[in-house]
């Protein structure tokens, strides 16, 4: 019960401080920060976009276990148990202040307040319990029924009713007062008082929890409204028209353009940041920047905007995996901004070879300056498929660099761009053993038939997508059971920065068969059988699918 009250109060306090400082989020974030790449990779793979939910449920489960443990301890040593709760809260506080996005020690407040309330509730409630050294006589309910009604179960509910972090500390006195009273009566403390006090605490904690939720929801609604008010200008340079047959529109084949709701999502954010567009600023500064810039959202919108189709891919995508999607993006060409600030690429004598992008949630991503300025459509995107960026995908502004994996280029919720060198600074994922540079590896995927599908013998359509962003796909081949490679039909070609659909008509014979695919990009490289995992620079190898033809 005290654990429940602690979490509820802490979550409410987090609303006052910063949603990201809530202990659940902070501990989760600290876990994310410290998870070895292989394990994180596994979690993303196993739980996909639900990995964060699984993590939070795990933390809640650990919390429940701890609460049960301290509850038992409290039966005998309530002072030690209360201190245990406080120590646990300190851990939460350390996690909150140790996160990359933590800028102030205020972030410790929710955990500390929660722990103090939790400890107090535990101490008080344990004091209400029948003393364990008394003979356990559950079969004697009569005395407690005949006892006078408890004066009031309020002390504990007053504790849980403290709505603000500063008042939270006042939770201590009542418990002391109570502690002094408990040992006094010679008669056994009433079971009924304990039950009432517990029920009162439960009700109050639930109320506090709901209040926290409500406040959080209204902040979300404000952010939602500010996003809805954004009007995106028309692009000065519209996306090149797509050939009609760029999308084969086959059943079960991934569409050429991914709807925003189905676009994959990969990030470390346990609470999706919802920056306020009005106060949002982007700073551009650092080594070799002659004229540092600070831009607001309107400054960005008033520039010439480009519109481009770009396929984004995650380095954590396994061969055949789902972390690749394509959208039509609207944004400001990053090279223009950099040149305006006086930045030169290393090849023209510029002193900075790394561009470090920093998000409002403290994430850092590092991109080669040379690549950003080599003429490709690297951009600060404000629009995605005709609407402002969804919060999940980086509202109000994110970076995109065609041809590079997301973790080295696609900073969401961006707020700062610093020019530096690779020697001077390692960004978040590089500190965690991922490669500094992440060009996307040429890949292909079979979308249909699905693994273990049971198609009928005869003509079966095999189809999928292949990608080699910024290079282009020249050929896709399929083979059955290690037989000869057969050329698939390619869909019409869209921009080089996007994937390409393909299909092949298979004269399928009954039995179990393995289909395998490989792509050749415009540099002449053909995917090999060499399989590597996703760490440190992306998976390689060919996708294959086993089907049972009936």
Part of the chain binding Mo ion (CB under 5 A), chosen from 127-135, 168-176, 193-201, 311-319: 311-319
Part of the chain binding ligand MTE (CB under 6 A), chosen from 110-118, 189-197, 408-416, 454-462: 408-416
- Give least dist CB 60 to ligand MTE, A: 22
Among 297, 391, 395, 413, binds ligand MTE (CB under 6 A): 413
Q: List the single partner that 412 binds among Mo ion, ligand MTE, none, CB under 5 to 8 Å by kind.
A: ligand MTE
- Give least dist CB 399 to Mo ion, A: 13
What CA–CA distance (Å, rounded) separates 104 from 92? Answer: 15
- Is residue 274 a contact residue for ligand MTE (CB under 6 A)? no
Among 314, 399, 419, 466, binds Mo ion (CB under 5 A): 314
Characterize 45-74 residue by residue with b for buried, 16 or more Cβ atoms within 10 angstroms of its Cβ, and e for exposed. Answer: beeeeebbeebbeebeeebeeebeebbebb
Q: List the single partner that 361 binds among Mo ion, ligand MTE, none, CB under 5 to 8 Å by kind.
A: ligand MTE
Residues 224-263 that bind ligand MTE (CB under 6 A): 263
SS3 of residue 95 by DSSP: helix
Among 45, 265, 303, 432, binds ligand MTE (CB under 6 A): 265
What CA–CA distance (Å, rounded) separates 238 from 332? Answer: 12
> Residues 221, 391: contact at Cβ < 8 Å?
no
- Is residue 10 a contact residue for ligand MTE (CB under 6 A)? no
Part of the chain binding Mo ion (CB under 5 A), chosen from 312-320, 330-338, 363-371, 496-504: 312-320
What CA–CA distance (Å, rounded) separates 6 from 52? Answer: 22
* Nearest alpha carbon to residue 516 among 548, 538, 483: 483
Token pair belonging to 124? 């008080």
SS3 of residue 515 by DSSP: strand
Give the count of residues interacting with ligand MTE (CB under 6 A).
18
* Torsions phi, psi for 380 (to 5 deg): -100, 105
What CA–CA distance (Å, rounded) separates 247 from 502? Answer: 9
What CA–CA distance (Å, rounded) separates 268 from 20? Answer: 12
* Torsions phi, psi for 109 (to 5 deg): -55, -50
- Is residue 407 a contact residue for Mo ion (CB under 5 A)? yes
- Is residue 361 a contact residue for ligand MTE (CB under 6 A)? yes
Interior angle at CA 391, CA 386 and CA 392, nearest 5 = 100
What CA–CA distance (Å, rounded) separates 476 from 488? Answer: 5
Is 290 buried (19+), middle (13-18) or exposed (0-12) by CB count in 10 A? exposed
Give the count of residues interacting with Mo ion (CB under 5 A).
5
- Is residue 43 a contact residue for Mo ion (CB under 5 A)? no
Q: List the single partner that 359 binds among Mo ion, ligand MTE, none, CB under 5 to 8 Å by kind.
A: ligand MTE
Among 246, 363, 397, 535, binds ligand MTE (CB under 6 A): 363
- Give least dist CB 259 to ligand MTE, A: 13
**Angstrom distances, CA of residue 119 to CA of 24, 84, 280, 287, 422:** 18, 8, 39, 50, 47
- Is residue 267 a contact residue for ligand MTE (CB under 6 A)? yes
- Is residue 465 a contact residue for Mo ion (CB under 5 A)? no
Among 113, 115, 314, 478, binds ligand MTE (CB under 6 A): 314
- Is residue 406 a contact residue for Mo ion (CB under 5 A)? yes
- Is residue 110 a contact residue for Mo ion (CB under 5 A)? no
- Is residue 545 a contact residue for Mo ion (CB under 5 A)? no
Contact set with ligand MTE (CB under 6 A): 263-268, 312, 314, 359, 361, 363, 393, 406-407, 410-413
Contact set with Mo ion (CB under 5 A): 266, 314-315, 406-407
């Amino acid at each position: 019960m005290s654990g429940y009250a602690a979490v509820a109060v802490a979550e409410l306090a987090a609303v006052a401080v910063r949603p990201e400082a809530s202990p659940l989020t902070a501990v989760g974030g600290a876990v994310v920060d410290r998870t070895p790449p292989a394990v994180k990779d596994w979690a993303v793979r196993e739980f996909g976009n639900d990995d964060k939910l699984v993590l939070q449920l795990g933390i809640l489960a650990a919390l429940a276990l701890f609460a049960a443990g301290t509850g038992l301890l409290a039966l005998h040593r309530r002072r030690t148990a209360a201190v245990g709760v406080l120590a646990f809260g300190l851990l939460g506080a350390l996690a909150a202040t140790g996160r990359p996005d933590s800028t102030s020690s205020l972030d410790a407040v929710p955990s500390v307040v929660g722990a103090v309330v939790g400890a107090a509730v535990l101490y008080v409630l344990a004091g209400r319990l029948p003393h364990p050294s008394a003979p356990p006589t559950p079969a004697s309910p009569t005395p407690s029924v005949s006892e006078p009604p408890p004066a009031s179960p309020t002390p504990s509910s007053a504790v849980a009713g403290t709505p603000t972090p500063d008042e939270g500390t006042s939770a201590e006195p009542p418990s002391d007062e109570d502690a002094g009273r408990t040992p006094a009566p010679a008669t056994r403390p009433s079971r009924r008082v304990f039950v009432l006090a517990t029920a009162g605490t439960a009700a109050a904690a639930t109320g506090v929890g709901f209040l926290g939720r409500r406040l959080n929801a209204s902040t979300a609604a404000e952010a939602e409204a500010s996003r809805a008010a954004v009007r995106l200008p028309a692009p000065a340079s519209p996306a090149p028209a797509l050939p009609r047959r760029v999308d084969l529109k086959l059943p079960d084949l991934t569409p050429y353009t991914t709807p925003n709701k189905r676009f994959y999502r990969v990030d470390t954010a346990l609470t999706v940041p919802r920056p306020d567009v009005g106060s949002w600023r982007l700073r551009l500064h650092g080594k070799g920047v002659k004229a540092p810039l600070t831009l607001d959202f309107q400054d960005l919108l008033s520039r010439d905007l480009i519109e481009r189709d770009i396929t984004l891919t995650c380095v954590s995508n396994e061969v055949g995996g789902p972390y690749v999607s394509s959208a039509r993006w609207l944004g400001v060409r990053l090279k223009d901004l950099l040149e305006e600030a006086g930045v030169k690429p290393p090849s023209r004598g510029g002193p900075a070879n790394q561009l470090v992008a920093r998000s409002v949630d403290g994430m850092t991503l590092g991109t080669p300056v040379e690549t950003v300025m080599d003429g490709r459509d690297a951009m600060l995107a404000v629009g995605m498929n005709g609407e402002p960026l969804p919060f999940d995908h980086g509202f109000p502004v994110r970076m995109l660099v065609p041809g590079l994996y997301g973790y080295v280029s696609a900073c969401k919720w961006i707020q700062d761009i610093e020019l530096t060198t690779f020697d001077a600074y390692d960004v978040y994922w590089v500190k965690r053993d991922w490669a500094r540079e992440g060009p996307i590896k040429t890949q292909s995927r079979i979308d249909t038939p699905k693994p273990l599908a049971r198609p009928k013998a005869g003509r079966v359509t095999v189809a999928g997508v292949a990608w080699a962003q910024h290079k282009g796909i020249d050929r896709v081949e399929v083979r059955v059971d290690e037989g000869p490679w057969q050329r698939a039909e390619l869909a019409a070609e869209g921009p080089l920065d996007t994937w390409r659909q393909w299909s092949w008509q298979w004269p399928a014979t009954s039995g179990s068969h393995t289909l395998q695919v490989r792509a050749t990009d415009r540099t002449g490289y053909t995917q090999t059988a060499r399989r590597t995992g996703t760490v440190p620079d992306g998976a390689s190898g060919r996708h294959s699918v086993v089907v049972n033809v009936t």
